[in-house]
Structure 1
């Protein structure tokens, strides 16, 4: 005989909520089963994708990178990041694209940008500010997800490779200068490399932080509206 929720019921507030939500979906009070959970549970899939995106962003940029930077020698850390960052940006941009696609398909107003499109097409940039206020909330979240995907793609295709090139150039110059007489001043070549590297690294970090902020804002909105229509 199949066990029902009533057979397993314990009067714990959290469990009571689970029971009630299950009864709303299954009037007979039985567990929905794995097939139903996997095929008719789009909201859970969306949450898993969103959680994976947020988790990989937080871990790579603000936990893993910080710990390895403090632990490993500088050159070793640089070589490790040169391998990790491309993998990270590929995963993050893929997750953001999957979320964007599902959001557009399942949210009725995901592409309701109000009068903004008409203002841009007519080059009436004076009215952009007022047009922004006509954007539907769903469309605003479409912009957030698109920005996340674009930010990670820009890091993958442009900023990260350029930053890595200058990092390895610094490593080579440091090795060359170390083989010469010890110098007290930074060479002009090293100064130029440091300046370019710092600019690119700052841009890359800013883009990454912007993507994280957009993801967090979208997650807050999803938490507010729920996942019934996702």
Structure 2
């Protein structure tokens, strides 16, 4: 019982739990949840779900990264600062998560709504959404008779969606790299 109580007062179990939750959340959202939702839901419902789910996912990713950093054994952030093999991958996860949460996630959501609206003929709505994301390279008062607005909306969506995917993949790789760093620290006996 004494060993258990000592463990409760140590940062290591909290660190392992936060790291495990971080990696598990990334893998589940990226490879299971998104795929199942894409296959099971009509596109309109899928887009509505994703626009609500991804901000929560990216916020959780950032929060778990901060929690993992704050519980780094044996002395929290002091230990982390002294370990470049640990701080670098956690910084990458945090930065990529912030970019997705603040910039590319919202842009992807807006661009997907623009694409859907153009397919449904809501031209004015699409133009205002394109203005919101800063894509104003052509005049906004001409109807999309030649398909240029649709092409632009598809290109904008593809660019932002690719950024989200690549940043998320980089974050997952950095999370796994951090796991190896953590394992090396544990094997060395801290």
Please classify the TM superposition score into its range, dividing by the shorter chain length: 0.7 to 0.9
Give the structure 1 partner of residue 45 of structure 2. Answer: 76
Point out which structure has higher relative CO (alpha carbons under 8 A, 6+ apart).
2
CA distance in 2, matches of 1:74, 1:65: 12
Q: CA deviation at 1:32?
A: 3.1
CA distance in 1, matches of 2:178, 2:149: 44
CA distance in 1, matches of 2:114, 2:159: 15
2:85 touches 2:181 (CA, 8 Å); kept in 1?
Answer: no
Q: CA deviation at 1:187?
A: 2.3
1:9-88 correspondence runs (5 A): 31-32=1-2, 35-38=5-8, 40-88=9-57
Give the structure 2 partner of residue 100 of structure 1. Answer: 69
**1:176 is the counterpart of 2:121:** yes
Q: Where does the alignment leave 5 or more consecutive residues of structure 1 unmatched?
A: 1-30, 113-137, 178-184
CA distance in 1, matches of 2:22, 2:146: 41
Higher Cα radius of gyration: 1
CA distance in 2, matches of 1:186, 1:60: 38
Runs of 4+ off more than 6 Å:
none
Could you state the TM-score of these two structures normalised by the residue count of structure 2?
0.78
Could you state the TM-score of these two structures normalised by the residue count of structure 1?
0.65
Give the structure 2 partner of residue 159 of structure 1. Answer: 104
Give the structure 2 partner of residue 120 of structure 1. Answer: none
Q: CA deviation at 1:35?
A: 4.2
Q: Where does the alignment leave 5 or more consecutive residues of structure 2 unmatched?
A: 123-144
1:97 touches 1:146 (CA, 8 Å); kept in 2?
Answer: no
- How many residue pairs get aligned? The number is 166
CA distance in 2, matches of 1:82, 1:34: 43
Q: CA deviation at 1:36?
A: 3.8
1:100 touches 1:146 (CA, 8 Å); kept in 2?
Answer: no
Question: Residue 212 of structure 1 is aligned with which of 156, 168, 172?
Answer: 172
Q: CA deviation at 1:108?
A: 6.1
